[in-house]
């Protein structure tokens, strides 16, 4: 009887522990558009074409880590930037910062809870197990998307992109990539390294 009561105590305390963890929020991204001309997707914090679209929150996170969402995965193979055009005035940064190139491809997994991963390596491994070798979790803030000041259309595209690798700057908030992922859901991504918005830590 005592054993059963101890068992009950542990079960309850475990449930309590899980509920505390449930409060953690993680950052997500969404697809905004696809360009059939280049076979590229535009992916970022918010779909600006959707008036009821949600902003991501790269600082505190925006979605319960126990929610099931597809993981957004990338395979960076140093593909040169295709000559897509960049529009708009930009915001805090020039427009090109919000139109960086990830140097490869994007795909997604089946929906899963981000809380199941303890660290970035486990998230990367899930991408690789689902999609193949060299697939890893996508990030927006940090090293994956890049831009070059003054890039637009053919300027700093193709061989001109590859020849100017020393001018690459880290992009933020949204990026272009080869791919054509679903647009009916947000995706789990890696948040900025200096924020607490990644479900699995850093």
Ligand X SMILES: *[C@@H]1O[C@H](CO)[C@@H](O)[C@H](O)[C@H]1NC(C)=O
Q: φ and ψ at 47, to 5 degrees?
A: -90, 100
Establish if 86 lies at the interface with ligand X (CB under 6 A).
yes
39 to 68: interface string for ligand X, x by CB under 6 A: --------x--x------------------
146 to 185: interface string for ligand X, x by CB under 6 A: ------xx-----------------------------x--
Rounded to whole angstroms, the Cα distance separating 61 from 81 reads 30
Of the candidates 197, 85, 187, 103, the residue with the CA atom closest to the CA atom of residue 143: 103
* Beta carbons of 143 and 81 less than 8 angstroms apart: no
Residue ranges in 87-126 that form contacts with ligand X under rule CB under 6 A: 87, 95
Interface with ligand X by CB under 6 A: which range of 56-64, 82-90, 128-136, 193-201?
82-90
Query: 40-66 burial string, b = 16+ CB within 10 Å, else e?
Result: bbbbbbbbeeeeeeeebbbeebbbbbb
Q: How far is the CB of 87 from ligand X (least distance, A)?
A: 6
Contact residues: ligand X, CB under 6 A = 47, 50, 85-87, 95, 152-153, 183
């Amino acid at each position: 009887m005592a054993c059963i009561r101890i068992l009950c105590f542990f079960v309850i305390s475990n449930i309590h522990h899980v509920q505390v963890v449930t409060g953690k929020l993680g950052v997500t991204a969404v697809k905004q558009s696809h360009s059939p001309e280049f076979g590229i997707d535009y992916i970022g914090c918010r779909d600006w074409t959707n008036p009821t679209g949600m902003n991501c929150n790269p600082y505190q996170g925006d979605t319960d880590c126990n929610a099931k969402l597809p993981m957004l995965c990338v395979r960076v193979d140093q593909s040169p930037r295709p000559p897509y055009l960049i529009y708009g005035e930009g915001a805090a940064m020039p427009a090109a910062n919000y139109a960086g190139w990830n140097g490869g491809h994007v795909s997604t997994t089946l929906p899963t809870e981000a809380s199941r991963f303890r660290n970035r390596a486990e998230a990367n491994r899930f991408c690789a197990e689902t999609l193949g070798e060299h697939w890893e979790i996508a990030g927006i803030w940090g090293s994956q998307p890049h831009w070059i000041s003054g890039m637009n259309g053919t300027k700093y595209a193709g061989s001109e992109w590859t020849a100017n690798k020393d001018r690459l700057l880290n992009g933020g908030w949204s990026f272009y990539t080869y791919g054509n992922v679903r647009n009916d859901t947000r995706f789990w991504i890696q948040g900025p390294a200096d924020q607490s918005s990644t479900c699995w830590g850093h």
